[in-house]
């Protein structure tokens, strides 16, 4: 079974299994602390169990890295899969229709394939390094917006230090905070928004691995706050800041963040 066929099956399983918990208090019940040192809610655990069960039956990777379970060795496969079983847990639990499953397959530390499915709308974003980025099997491309005062961006700032966010925020035309970083990166790739900036330092490899590849293969640029290449360790307790744009706007965004 190839990666994308397997992802389709896992996403369908997750959507079915979490269905009874979407928009319910039961879905938000905290059942333990996850490997990422944040609370694991019921809906997250149900989704992750579904994916883990599938991966244990199919030889897709040798290591799974997930927000809840952390690093899980698996038999038979090759490479590493980075999983966020429910990206946008708060949205899912409260019934806001913007949450996703995110999977990225990497070999030798390089993400080669990516899959993100919006579990509410069904939109499916995929990418293969050096080959394509697609949404529902149609090619993706970033927007051509070149002016900050005409762009729409998602900007997350530190509660204790809003200066950088406000410096940039006063320059852009529209703010759109959706609450699911993997999908927001895909939205940059699709040209639905022009950029995604996260200053919180909490993005982990499981949050970003798939969305980054989809964004860059669609023509976008992803970097740290200084414009340097962004490198994530294979460790769910370590967070990063990120700037992702359509490329045309990138240097302007970096300038306002300095």
Hey, what's the torsion of the CAs at 109, 185, 182, 90, to 10 degrees?
A: 150
Residue of 246, 99, 228, 225 lying closest to 172 (CA atoms): 246
Residue of 82, 139, 101 lying closest to 9 (CA atoms): 101
User: Binding site annotation covers 84?
Assistant: yes
User: Binding site annotation covers 108?
Assistant: no
Instruction: Please tell me the distance from the alpha carbon of residue 84 to that of residue 65, in angstroms, as a whole number.
Output: 9
Contacts of 13 (CB under 8 A, 6+ apart): 50, 51, 54
Angle between the N-to-C axes of helices 205-217 and 181-190, in degrees from 0 to 180, rounded to the nearest 10: 0
129 burial (CB, 10 Å; 0-12 / 13-18 / 19+) is middle
User: Binding site annotation covers 29?
Assistant: no
User: Binding site annotation covers 48?
Assistant: no
Instruction: Please tell me the distance from the alpha carbon of residue 37 to that of residue 1, in angstroms, as a whole number.
Output: 33
Asked if residues 118 and 135 have their Cβ atoms less than 8 Å apart, the reply is no
In the beta sheet, which residues pair with residue 6? none
Angle at CA of residue 122, ends 247 and 73, nearest 5°: 80
39 burial (CB, 10 Å; 0-12 / 13-18 / 19+) is middle
Report the binding-site residues for Mg(2+): 67, 84, 87, 207
Report the binding-site residues: 67, 84, 87, 207
């Amino acid at each position: 079974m190839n990666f994308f066929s397997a992802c389709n099956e896992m996403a369908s399983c997750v959507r079915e299994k979490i269905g009874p918990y979407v928009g319910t208090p039961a879905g938000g019940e905290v059942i333990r602390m996850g490997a990422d040192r944040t609370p694991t809610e019921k809906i997250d655990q149900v989704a992750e169990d579904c994916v883990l069960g599938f991966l244990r039956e199919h030889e897709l990777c040798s290591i799974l890295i997930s927000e809840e379970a952390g690093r899980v060795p698996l038999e038979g496969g090759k490479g590493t899969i980075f999983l966020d079983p429910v990206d946008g847990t708060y949205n899912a639990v409260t019934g806001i229709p913007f949450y996703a499953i995110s999977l990225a397959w990497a070999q030798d530390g390089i993400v080669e394939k990516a899959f993100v499915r919006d579990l509410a709308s069904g939109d499916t974003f995929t990418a293969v390094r050096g080959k394509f980025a697609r949404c529902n099997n149609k090619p993706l491309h970033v927007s051509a917006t070149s002016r900050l005062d005409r762009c729409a961006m998602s900007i997350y700032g530190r509660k204790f230090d809003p200066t950088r966010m406000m410096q940039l925020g006063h320059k852009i035309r529209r703010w759109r905070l959706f609450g699911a970083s993997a999908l927001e990166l895909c939205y940059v790739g699709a040209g639905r928004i022009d950029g995604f900036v996260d200053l919180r330092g909490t993005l982990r490899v499981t949050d970003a691995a798939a969305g980054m590849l989809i964004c860059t293969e669609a023509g976008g640029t992803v970097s740290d706050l200084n414009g340097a290449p962004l490198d994530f360790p294979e460790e769910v307790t370590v967070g990063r800041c990120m700037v992702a744009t359509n490329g045309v706007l990138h240097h302007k965004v970096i300038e306002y963040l300095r």
